[in-house]
Amino acid sequence: MTTFVLAGGCFWCLDAVYQRTRGVHAVLSGYQGGHTSNPDYRQVCSGTSGHAEVVAVIFDEQTVPADVILDMFFTVHDPTTLNRQGYDVGTQYRSAMFPLDENQRGVFEASMRKYAALYPGPIVTTIEESKDFYPAEQVHQDYYSENQEVGYCRVIIDPKLAKVRKYYAQWLNEN
């Protein structure tokens, strides 16, 4: 199994995508990259903890290649907007990747180079040191599946899922 820790705005969006991806065994929403130990959602949302909302995606590369996981990451969020994704603004919503080793760092750097050529603006995604990962509260785990009728899910997440279905349908578990 391979684990990628990725931040691309609100963790609910990335979680919704990867929960539906073939070969992904688990997705854990959490917080990483800050200076506060054991932060909670309120602390992270305040922007004072330094943490980003992240997902740890645990997947089988024999079923879904790492580059597909990263392609989805760069497709579902805008890596050219600094510290914001849509209406979510602040460093907690930054675009970031947290490599677990030097090999992953190289994979992440190559992916960023690939996408830098595809976006009209510069990529602002950061590659940050992998510090402690703090799991988010249970209410944030698989949020979309549990709350599909909530306005945020319908207005923000549904269009992202539609985009993923359009480009990556062969990698999804959905019928």
Catalytic positions, written as ranges: 10
Q: How far apart are CA 52 and CA 160, in angstroms?
A: 20
Report the length, in residues, of the chain: 175
What distance lies between CA 109 and its chain's CA centroid? 16
Q: What kind and span of H or E run contains 12? A: helix 11-19
Strands 95-98 and 84-85: unpaired
Residue found by looking up tokens 């830098």 in the block: 116
CA distances from 144 to 58, 60, 64, 73, 169 (A): 18, 23, 22, 17, 18
DSSP, collapsed to helix, strand or coil, labels residue 2 as strand
Q: How far apart are CA 124 and CA 78, in angstroms?
A: 9
